[in-house]
Structure 1
Amino acid sequence: MRKGTALSLLGLVLSATAQRFVRFIATDGQEYTGDAILPAGTTDAALTKQAKVITGDILGDFQITDEVKTVKTLLAPLAPEKTRTVRCVGFNYAAHATEANVTIPSFPILFYKPWTALAPPIGPVPITKGYQNQTNFTSSMDYETELVVVIGKKAFNITEDVALEHVLGYAAGYDVSHRGWQIDRGGEPQPQYSMGKGADGWAPWGPAIVSTSIITDPQNLNLWTKVNGVLMQNDTTANMIFSVANMVAFFSMGITLLPGDIIYTGTPSGVQLGKANPQWLTNGDVVETGTENIGTCTSTITYTPLEPCTCFGVLRPVSQRGFELRRRFAIGFRDIRTPMSRG
């Protein structure tokens, strides 16, 4: 075989496997799914200006065409209705558990967000009145950068050694978190993970789903957060307590993971939770969460003018009692009889 022919065939193989799936509005006003064409010298899919149009369903049969469209607006990589379940993992980095005064878990800690929380990689994070500053209550909005796993093949009761075969690819994500609602509301420890993390638009992700043909080892990726340009989190997925393969297998042992399902894999240290003088996010703050070889999500905290809901009483910030409940949650409520510390 001639050298030129061999190189051409290699190029065809790479074009068929080296995929960064993006969903976008093109300059013609139409929505497309495409294979991102990145500018030279970058791996940040948020900088995508053009993409090859993909026909079919990236969760099933699809084809990358030669038709190129110019990107006007990046959307979340999957239409929200294609994701049946958004699983999230708590305290998956030892340093984060330590800063939050939480016992390091012995198994993955699972909670869920509704799919209505999913949001584009660039845009506002809406904060309605019930989450904003009120009398006797300071809004405690926090940031969490996370590696996002996208399931590509149905998984049920699988083993860890085959778990990554069920993964379509990876994205960057921002687990928007309101610590007051999440941990301590109304004066008594009443954890509300769904209320504290699941509001509409509180799961920005993207800017692309990067194929497993590009990211062959999800445990070797740097991830970070910047707030208003200042670096706040900087760590590596090598420091996860539970690997991606372990989590996928663990979650599948009795609950089916379906194509399009998403797993937020936990955040490293550097969040405001647990700090002596936390600087909570407020209206207008710009949060940039990124993952190596994937790209960045840029989100602006945006207070919305909706009327406040008065049915929940007065909210107040996180207290030491909330931290104690959080510790118990992390260890599976093993000793619920132990009196909670007063704070």
Structure 2
Amino acid sequence: MRLGQFSTTASERPWCGAVMDDTVIDLPAAGHAAGIDVPRRLSTLLDQWNWAEKASLAVEYATEQEVAQEPLDDLTRHAPVTDPEKVVCVGLNYEDHARELDLDIPEEPVLFSKFPTAITGPGDEIVWDPTYTTEVDYEAELVIVVGREARDVAAEDAWDHIAGVTVGNDVTARDLQQRDGQWVRGKTLDTFAPTGPDLVTLDDVDDPHDLDIWAEVDGERLQDSTTANFIFGLDELVSFCSRAFTLKPGDLIFTGTPPGVGTSRDPPVSLDDGDHVTVGIEGVGELTNPCRHR
């Protein structure tokens, strides 16, 4: 199932929907018609223990009764989860990226965070002040969306706590990151965490540990790898995080980036005003965002 958040020109307030080819089923509206309580926000739906069953029943009813359906092209897409409690990020999680940087393979995941105010959606602008940072970089990433509270979860049980995956771009101000000596400020400027377009449930992903992943700037492919090069898999990351802190439904885990980021290129590449950056992941989707100075 492909889930997302959408709005119409008549109402800018987003609602959660299920993407069915070129049609989106309005899950709250379909649920209401079917006598099922489906909340408007996807994060609130994920917080319910039977969220998958509710979504499936709403989709089934809407399909059979031909109700609560909107043309995808008529809708505005938003980030699948706009209000996560936590945005956890993993550094150096691709073997080929470690080789590119001539670094040792880490023995355990390296974690940092972004603030939820960095979240933005597909088609939204990545915005920064060029007097504040001049070295803005892209990072293609597969993002875990937590679907069930997790605390001290074993790796073999971690899959039960994953709602699905989405596409993310861990936008980074390299000059701020290097100047500070730690990563929070350079990683979490407003709009520096684009995600989307959809949350894809794991039953619709062939193998999350064997997906092509890439990034393009204005059509030029600059990152091109596969999640088969993960150092730590999704199950290991959820388990590792849950030993340190409680993961809540709707939390996001950016799982690291492959080689080819701008700062590692010769000469280095930085995003600029007017650029369009696209991150793609096989079977999950493509996420494109324009860049703008303010």
TM-score (norm 1): 0.73
Q: Select which of 29, 34, 39 maps to 2:17.
A: 34
Contact 2:89 / 2:113 at 8 angstroms: preserved in 1? Answer: yes
Contact 1:84 1:260 in 2 (8 A): yes
**Equivalent residue in structure 1 for 2:224, among 230, 234, 252:** 234
Answering whether residue 250 of structure 2 is matched by residue 253 of structure 1, we say no
Contact 1:227 1:285 in 2 (8 A): yes
Between the aligned partners of 1:98 and 1:198, the Cα distance in structure 2 is 26
Alpha-carbon shift at residue 37 of structure 1 (Å): 1.8
Matched residue, 1:53: 26
Amino acid at match of 2:97: H
> CA RMSD of the aligned region, Å?
1.5
SS of the residue corresponding to residue 243 of structure 2 reads coil
Contact 1:26 1:32 in 2 (8 A): no
Match 1:178 to one of 173, 177, 200: 173
Question: 1:22 corresponds to which letter in structure 2?
Answer: G
Partner SS state of residue 273, structure 1: helix
Looking at secondary structure, tell me which structure has more helix per residue.
Answer: 2
Mapped partners of 1:101, 1:283: distance in 2: 31
Structure 2 distance, partners of 1:254, 1:192, is: 19
Q: Secondary structure at the match of 1:123?
A: coil
* Structure 2 letter corresponding to 1:231: R
**Mapping for residues 127-276 of structure 1, pairs under 5 Å:** 127-132=128-133, 139-183=134-178, 185=179, 190-215=180-205, 217-276=207-266
Q: Return 217-226 or 143-152, whichever deviates more.
A: 217-226
Contact 1:223 1:237 in 2 (8 A): yes
TM-superposed CA distance for 1:221, in Å, is: 1.2
Mapped partners of 1:130, 1:204: distance in 2? 22
CA radius of gyration, larger in: 1
Deviation at 1:216, TM superposition (A): 5.3
Structure 1 unaligned spans of 5+: 1-18, 40-49, 133-138, 305-343
Mapped partners of 1:254, 1:229: distance in 2: 40
Letter matched to residue 51 of structure 1: V
Deviations 1:110-144 (A, max 9, x none): 00000000101212101124434xxxxxx211111
Q: Which amino acid aligns with 2:87?
A: V
Other-structure match for 2:70: 69
SS in structure 2 at match of 1:301:
strand
TM-score (norm 2): 0.85
SS of residue in 2 equivalent to 1:284: coil
Alignment of 1:302-321 (within 5 A): 302-304=292-294
Residues of 2 paired with 1:176 and 1:257: CA distance?
A: 23
Among candidates 66, 81, 84, match of residue 78 of structure 1: 81
Instruction: String of CA shifts for 1:214-245, please: whole Å, max 9, x gaps.
Output: 12531021111011001111111111000011
Deviations 1:171-211 (A, max 9, x none): 0000001111112x2xxxx3241111101110000100001
- Partner Cα distance (2:238, 2:165) in 1: 13
Q: 2:26 is aligned with what amino acid?
A: V
Amino acid at match of 2:244: G
Residue identity matched to 2:284: I
Contact persistence 1:101–1:274 (CA under 8 A): no
The whole-number CA distance in structure 2 between the counterparts of 1:284 and 1:254 is: 40
Deviation at 1:27, TM superposition (A): 4.4
Instruction: Please report how far the alpha carbon of residue 32 of structure 1 lies from its aligned counterpart in structure 2 after TM superposition.
Output: 2.0
Q: Which deviates the most, 209-218 or 141-150?
A: 209-218
Cα distance between partner residues in 2 of 1:73 and 1:118: 16
Query: Aligned partners of 1:278 and 1:175: how far apart in 2?
Result: 17
Cα distance in 2 between the residues matched to 1:216 and 1:279: 33
